[in-house]
Every structure is written in structure tokens, then in C-alpha cells.
Chains A and B, each alone.
Chain A
Amino acid sequence: MPQLKQWNELPVAGALAPADAAQPVTGGWRTAGRPVPQLATCVNCLLCWLYCPDSAIVLDGTTFAGIDYDYCKGCALCVEVCPAGTLSMQQEDDG
């Protein structure tokens, strides 16, 4: 937990440079499982990357490389648009 600032330490009006902004991890908001890829079947169409509202699809250059579960909110849009059945929703394995 970072040290919280006092009122007189805040930037005026809270106008923040990107480096100063808090970076909260929102993956904990998932309540209905997580999308899990089977990379062997991926056709690399990148529709999931295009549709993901949280920029949580990880690419290696222009190749699908997985999902950033720190920011994936489990909306399952990627599962919906995947034409190859690569992505499916599964129970969170960490409970």
C-alpha cells in the first residue's frame, strides 16, 4: 500500500502527469471466471485484441501471446468474438 498524500501535498486540481497517476490493478473485479487461451488453435486474427475494452490482450509483436489478468475484468467479449474456439471462460484457479 503506497503512502497516501496529505491534502497539501496534492497537485493543484489533481491534474496528474501519467507517471504520477495511481495504477490500480483491476483484475480483481472479475466475478464470473477468466478467459483462458489454447494457443495451439489460435489463428492470430487479433479480433480479441481489437475488441478487448481493457487492453488486456498481450501481444508478442503482432502475435497473440496471452491475457494480462491484472487488467482483464472477465467480460468474455474475447471469447465471444474468437472464431477459432481458442478462448473459453474457466473458473478462477486461485479461488
Chain B
Amino acid sequence: MSTVAQQLLTGGEAVAHALCQIQPDVVPVYPITPQTPIIQTFSSLVADGEAHTEIVNVESEHSAMSAAIGAALAGARTATATSSQGLALMAEVVYIAASMRAPLTMAVGNRALSGPINIHCDHSDSMLIRDSGVVQLFAENAQEAYDLMVMAPRIAEHPEVSLPVLVCQDGFTITHAAEPVSMLADDDVQAFVGAYRTPVRPLLDAAHPATHGPFAMPDYYFEFRRAQGAALEAARFVVAEVADDFARLTGRRNDAVESYRLDGADVVVVALGSTAGTVKDVVDELRDGGEPVGLLKIRSFRPFPAAALWRLLADRREVIVLDRADSPGGAPPLAADVAFALAGCGATLRGHVYGLGGRDLHPEAIREIFHDQAPRYVGVRGEPCLV
């Protein structure tokens, strides 16, 4: 086990310290609430000489990701960070980063999308780029945000993956809430992430010029997209491998999914992010009352751990999916993925949308969800009460 003493850090600060220990060569970034404390803390650490990183103060998130692609493909270990509208503005280039297989990392402070304009947490921003082909990992708390950030470069830079890896934490709930965080020693983080793996054809190798991001007509576009999908499939195994290595170093497991009291559980909630922590408390309370309930927390939203869900949930009586994003007129994103993963199993599936724009989800509401006494949209005024 290798850790230094715990420090009281917000999730944003924890990720900034992880970045400082990773020592990326280049960080092109643009501030946006609630991501700002990440880059603000990191910039202070760089200004104090704690990291050698070249911070590029770009004029927008579109530029941040564009610069990040160039840096990563030129041979620099690269990271950036954003939230909400920033991720929306960046979305076009996020697809290109995935397609150009830029092995960069990005810290995301999840926040609702306009409109109405709002600065608080939901997962709409991550879901907007769900299909871009990037890896998306969700943290439950500041400790996991730190851990996943340290794991991220290894996943991004694995030759079979070579994709952007996003470490997502709930805006304010995690980014701005201080809690004790166990950090690794700087040397251990350096040893864990290793040296940056320079791309096979680096951009600035003038002696061996190459075309990057070529045009693909109907005769090749589909094959390129398929190859990208295969990289995300490979990321499943790489996430598992890196989680094992990280657990050997720290004793902390950060697998694609976390089972919480699933033994003998008939009714299981599936959730992403900080809400999983609240659900754990409710599971404990209901278990104390003799109710066979449990939680399956998903850390790796992309790649989606479909096989693990089948293995862990197919034989339950009821599976309840909590989405912190809506898909108006259709199935919410997490519910759709879970339903596809569990198609044909015997469990009854139910989905709820909660917490949009930072609306709290209290333990009482989670109890109602477990007891099938909650409406489809939990916590919105005017929704019919089923009790």
C-alpha cells in the first residue's frame, strides 16, 4: 500500500492535485463553472513550480480540445477540463479527438445544459457526447475523482485504446465539496502512469511526414467508425487491467462497476455519480429493516459494462435505473443502455429521471423509488404522487 496522509480536498482540488502529480506536458483549457476550481488549482500549482506543464489559455473550449488534439498527437502528454456549455461547444472537436485517437485526458465537472441557463449538476453534458467514442468514467466522490484521474492516462495511452478518457464528477456536489482524500506520493503516480507513449506517426516528425485526419468517403468512413468502436471494446479490458494495478498500489478498487450489497438483493438500483453514495445509505437502512435491496454503481459509462450487468443483474426481480439526464420523447440514456444490456432477462425494469439542474435527491425519495412509490420524474413539482 502506498499512500501519503489524507488531505481535506474538494473533488476539483483532488483532480488538480492528480494532474499535478501526472505532470502533463500541455494543458489547453478555458474556465467554466463548476470546472473552474480544477484549472484554477492546477494553474496555481504550475505557477508555484510544482508542475512543469505548459498551460495554454485558449479562447474557447472548441479551441481547447483542438489544441489538445494537436499536442497529444505531436507527442505531449495532454489534459484539459470542462463542464456543460463548454463541453457542448467542444462537442464537435470531441468527436474528432476520438476519431484521430488522441490519447488525452479530460476532467469534467458535470453540469446541466442550457436552457434555462443553470450552473448546477446533472449529466446532460456527458450524455450530449455519449456517442462521440470517448471513454467516460464517473466518480462517486472526491477520492474516486482523484483515483480515476490517476488511472486515466494509462487507459487513454494504451496502444489498443488510444482515445480521450473523461473523468466525470458531479458539479458542486463533488467539485466543490471538501472531504478527506488519500493521495499517492508524487513518485508513485509518476511510476504508475509511466512515460507518455508517443503516437506511431507523431505530427511534428518532419522526416516522416504523414496525413492525419484524412477525408473518408463512403468506401472507408464506416470502416473507420468500426475501428473506433473496437478501440472502446478494448478499453473494457484495459480499464479492468488498470483498476487491478491501481488496487495493488492503493488497496482501492475502481472497477467498471461496483456492487453494493447485491448478495441476495431482489431489487437493485443502478446509478452514476454522487447519487450512488446516497443510495448506499438508503440500502443500508432498508437492509436493516430486512428488505433485500442493493445498488449497482456504474463507473465506466463508456465503454458500457453490459456483460457485467447481465452477470450481476439478470436474475434479480426488479432493476431500477436512475438517470440524471432526460431524453425528451425517448428513453433516458442510462435506462436505454441497461435495458439493452438486460434484454431477455427475467427482471422487471423501471426507470426514473431525477436531479436535473442540481435538484437534490433525498434519502426519502430513494426509499420511495425502491418501494415503487415514486413517479417517473422524481422530485419535480406537479408530478402525480403514486403513494
Task: List the interface of chain A (C-beta within 8 A of B).
Answer: 4-8, 10-18, 21
Contact = CB atoms under 8 A, between A and B. Distances in A.
Given A7-B230, A8-B230, A15 B212 contact: yes
B207 to A, nearest CB: 12
A11 B230 CA distance: 13
A16 B227 contact: no
B142 to A, nearest CB: 34
B101 A13 contact: yes
B230 A16 contact: no
Contacts of A16: 210-211, 214
Interface of B: 99-101, 162, 199-201, 208-214, 216, 219-220, 222-224, 226-227, 230
Q: Considering the complex of A and B, which 8 residue pairs feature the smallest CB-CB distances, nearest first?
A: A13-B101, A7-B223, A7-B226, A15-B201, A16-B211, A7-B227, A13-B100, A15-B212
Contact of A14 (B162, B199, B214, B230): B214
Contacts of B219: 4
A8 B220 CA distance: 12
Nearest to B209: A18
B208 A13 contact: no
Contact of A12 (B200, B208, B213, B222): B200
Contacts of A5: 220, 223
B213 to A, nearest CB: 7
Contact of A10 (B209, B210, B224): B224
B65 to A, nearest CB: 15
Nearest to A16: B211
B210 A13 contact: no
A12 B208 CA distance: 16
Given A6-B223, A7-B223, A7-B230, A13 B212 contact: yes
Given A4-B220, A7-B222, A7-B226, 7 more contacts: A7-B223, A12-B101, A12-B227, A13-B101, A13-B212, A17-B210, A18-B211
A7 B219 CA distance: 11
A27 B208 CA distance: 29
11 contacts: A7-B230, A8-B227, A10-B224, A12-B227, A13-B101, A14-B212, A15-B100, A15-B199, A15-B212, A17-B201, A18-B211
